[in-house]
Amino acid sequence: MRENEDEISFDDYDERINPHPEHNDFDVVVEAAISRRGFLSGVLTFGAGSFVMGTRDANATTSPFEFEQIAASIADTVRVPKGYSWDIAVQWGDKMWSDSPEFDPKTRGTAASQARSFGDNNDGMALFDIGGKAVLVANNEYTNRKIIWGNRTDSKPQTDDDLLKVKMAHGVSIVELAEQNGKWSPVVDSPFNRRITPDTDMEITGPAAGHALLKTAADPTGTKTKGTWNNCGNGETPWGTYLACEENFNGYFSSSDAEFEISPELKRYGIGHSDWGYRWAKIDTRFDVARNPNEPNRAGYVVEIDPADPSSTPKKHTALGRFKHENADVQIAVDGRIVVYMGDDERGEYLYKYVSRGVYTKGGDTSDLFSDGTLYAAKFRANQRGEWLPLSPETTGMTRAEICIHTRQAASAVGATTMDRPEWVASNPNRVESYVALTNNKNRGRKPNAGGDDTPINPANPRRKNRYGQIVRWVPDNQDHGEGAFDWDIFALAGNPDVHDDDKAGSANINAGNMFNSPDGLAFDSKGMLWIQTDGNYKNQGDFAGMGNNQMLVGDPATGEIRRFLTGPNECEITGITWSPDRKTAFVGIQHPGGNGNSTFPNGGNSVPRSAIVTVRRDDGMPIG
């Protein structure tokens, strides 16, 4: 989700609708307690060799980096290291069937053309090898309204079709890709091609299915719903399905009745009388909370999609909780239970994990693994230990169904650690450890979260008004993701050592050559290197001078070394990464180029900027991760 709107950020929409009182009481204490030297030495003394850039495996003699770091860039293009090349695989509006109209840059399409074309603002994605076919599944998180309605006066919608066009640009695009001489492109009319939109039929599973809070006039059973939207990060299961995670689902609801009372439960999730400009309630009364107050309870979940079966009904899994889901990192515990790590991307919200009751066996029945299990929220302690606090009727005073619907309230009830906007979680395939990107949090140490929980600085979120973000890592006890406790440390504290010499300079593995802000996407490659994508301030001024456009870096878990690998075009974020089965192509998401109107990526000239998925390959044909 775009970090840098000139007008107002999406978190700010929430705060405008549901303002949190400013707290000043601990400001002075925090200022006194934190200095770069004080912070680093404080953390370094905790735990045995577990802080950043610890020395674990650091005496390896050969560098795991296979490229030379590139400079920061403010060019309106993608840049990759020497010896690598990039190309476009697919972009917003590309046709998926032979009867789809070609993208029309003048009108930017219609609802009908958009429903038959690749969606807007690609985010999380995964490439599946289905019987030798490369099937790409990509989330289409939201739309650049100024661009998609850029054919209209003031870039505002003029017709209901304009509103429906935007709705059809959301959801998930499934498209087969084919490679010829290193160039990847969509296979028009592939039987795997499918658009999943906010209107696609879905099944609701888990403890909340059928609960009164999920029943609506259109679905009196509370078990069937329509569609998915604002799908941010993703996940993949060992059984070959795709997980699309519903993030800022709230921004699409509005009330036709100014007197309609917004309940505290709706407020916690940012539902208000106004939407964020989409106006979907005008074309679909589901999005009018005055008429359908339970409809928002049917969004904010993880959705499972089977890309191998285009006729399958996607499932919304309530057991995995309801919040502003970023991604879903699926791991297998030692005993075979399925573990899913998930962030809730809002200031001062929580980090979660889900553990299935049943175990996974290859080729076995997986139907209950996402509908029967336990949710936990993370507690990070100052001694660099942490626990997963179970969200149960005993610990929360809520029923299982209520925990699945009002998951934020359950995590508040158990006193989990408020986090600096948890974005993606990724786990190392070569050792049992996981990483979460905490992108930034201007409210840290200043304001409570939307539920009124105070958000003082804490060891895992150590900076007041955190502008740069950090990456936190944990190692579960007994090398088992199923365990309830862990050691943790900070892998990287982003910052600007050119501008600051206090804690805002960042950790010692951040330097003038690799600095960045607002880590967001995370993924491990097959060699155990951590790919880091940013969605941050790209103004290249002040606190952010020298960082340039949003970028992708690679980190070495063993040494903490981080190198910049890719820079994006103007006003984009980099989000989503997956690889071809032979690992010779990396697919990287370029989202909202020209978010404020200053890009012509990827087609140049005077063209309309379009979100796109690019390929990156080594010129020598070797795998790149």
| Binding-site ranges for ligand FEO (CB under 6 A) | 1, 141, 232, 247, 326, 345, 423
Cα separation, 579 vs 524, whole angstroms: 11
Query: 536, 517 in Cβ contact below 8 A?
Result: yes
Q: What does the per-residue mask of binding to Ca ion show for 99-138, with x meaning CB under 5 A?
A: ----------------------------------------
Cα separation, 34 vs 117, whole angstroms: 51
Q: Binder to Ca ion among 1, 72, 437, 566 (CB under 5 A)?
A: 1
Helix (H) or strand (E) holding 123: strand 122-130
Smallest gap from Cβ 522 to ligand FEO, in A, equals 12
Contacts of 553 (CB under 8 A, 6+ apart): 514, 516, 531, 532, 534, 562, 563, 564, 565
Smallest gap from Cβ 459 to ligand FEO, in A, equals 23
Residue 563 β-bridge partners: 554
Smallest gap from Cβ 260 to Ca ion, in A, equals 30
247's contact among ligand FEO, Ca ion, none, with CB below 5 to 8 A by partner kind, is ligand FEO
Query: 93, 146 in Cβ contact below 8 A?
Result: no
Smallest gap from Cβ 425 to Ca ion, in A, equals 12
Smaller CB distance to ligand FEO: residue 344 or 402? 344
Smaller CB distance to ligand FEO: residue 275 or 345? 345
Contact set for Ca ion, span 542-581 (CB under 5 A): 575
Cα separation, 574 vs 589, whole angstroms: 6
Smaller CB distance to ligand FEO: residue 76 or 344? 344
Q: How far is C-alpha 133 from the chain's CA centre?
A: 27
Contacts of 67 (CB under 8 A, 6+ apart): 81, 82, 83, 84, 554, 563, 565
Smallest gap from Cβ 189 to ligand FEO, in A, equals 31
- Distances from the Cα of 178 to the Cαs of 139, 255, 428, in angstroms? 19, 45, 29
- Told to check if 349 binds Ca ion by CB under 5 A, we report no
- Told to check if 520 binds Ca ion by CB under 5 A, we report yes
Q: Binder to Ca ion among 304, 346, 535, 571 (CB under 5 A)?
A: 535
Helix (H) or strand (E) holding 488: strand 485-493
Write the single-letter amino acid at 247.
Answer: E
Smaller CB distance to ligand FEO: residue 86 or 424? 424
Cα separation, 142 vs 138, whole angstroms: 12
Smaller CB distance to ligand FEO: residue 43 or 305? 305
Smaller CB distance to Ca ion: residue 39 or 142? 142
Smaller CB distance to Ca ion: residue 272 or 576? 576
Smallest gap from Cβ 437 to Ca ion, in A, equals 8
Smallest gap from Cβ 232 to ligand FEO, in A, equals 3
Task: Count Cβ neighbours within 10 Å for each residue of 460-487 and write b for 16 or more, e otherwise.
Answer: bbbbbebbbbbbbbbbbeeebbbbeebb
Smallest gap from Cβ 520 to ligand FEO, in A, equals 6
Smallest gap from Cβ 159 to Ca ion, in A, equals 28
User: Residue 304's closest CA among 287, 286, 319?
Assistant: 319
Smaller CB distance to ligand FEO: residue 141 or 304? 141
Q: How far is C-alpha 140 from the chain's CA centre?
A: 12
Contact set for Ca ion, span 416-475 (CB under 5 A): 423
Smaller CB distance to Ca ion: residue 176 or 346? 346
List residues binding Ca ion (CB under 5 A). Answer: 1, 423, 520, 535, 575
